[in-house]
A and B are shown apart, each in its own frame.
Chain A
Amino acid sequence: AQSVTQPDIHITVSEGASLELRCNYSYGATPYLFWYVQSPGQGLQLLLKYFSGDTLVQGIKGFEAEFKRSQSSFNLRKPSVHWSDAAEYFCAVASNNNDMRFGAGTRLTVKP
């Protein structure tokens, strides 16, 4: 069965610093890969997705992620973090439309 691991429960970065959130998955084939962001008390918003093709994908709000098949990873990056990026970030994998698995999430705190 597929699974998703986000090794970092909580990350703190200074505003303006770069960010990388880690995501590793376990699946026999290449799944669909997603990053979502959740502000407190809100639903999840899609940041970006990878289905196939170019392994570096661009998303909204200046985020990007890189699919590395050899490492079974799909890490999320942003070159310069803004205070408004403070939120919880979820990596997800899906083998089909009705089988999406989420990581436990990484909470991002941004220091002024």
Chain B
Amino acid sequence: SQTIHQWPATLVQPVGSPLSLECTVEGTSNPNLYWYRQAAGRGLQLLFYSVGIGQISSEVPQNLSASRPQDRQFILSSKKLLLSDSGFYLCASLAGSVQFFGPGTRLTVL
């Protein structure tokens, strides 16, 4: 079975600062990978997905970007954070048409 790691677990950043969140997956190869954001009291919003190295699809226009430098690594970035970027960020990996989720990163932008 696969294991999904995310770090950091929590992050507090000032407005205008850069961001880098990392997701790595063990126990599988060439998975589809996903970044979601969960705002307080709301469901999950798909931000990006990737079907392979260097292949990124963006679902929502925003100041975030994603990259997939390695088969099992998925990175979420921003050059300048906004207050509205605060939330809980979840990485997911696809296995057998089911998405499995990592533990998440809590981002607070002040």
Contact = CB atoms under 8 A, between A and B. Distances in A.
B57 A98 contact: yes
Size bracket, chain B contacts: 20 to 34
Given A43-B104, A44-B101, A49-B98, A100 B43 contact: no
Interface in A26-55: 32, 34, 36, 41-46, 49, 51
Interface of B: 4, 32, 34, 41-44, 46, 49, 51, 57, 90, 92, 94, 97-104, 106
Contacts of B43: 4, 90, 102-105
A98 B32 contact: yes
Contacts of B44: 44, 90, 102
A43 B101 contact: yes
A43 B98 CA distance: 15
B26 to A, nearest CB: 15
Size bracket, chain A contacts: 20 to 34
B103 A43 contact: yes
Contacts of A46: 98, 100
A21 to B, nearest CB: 14
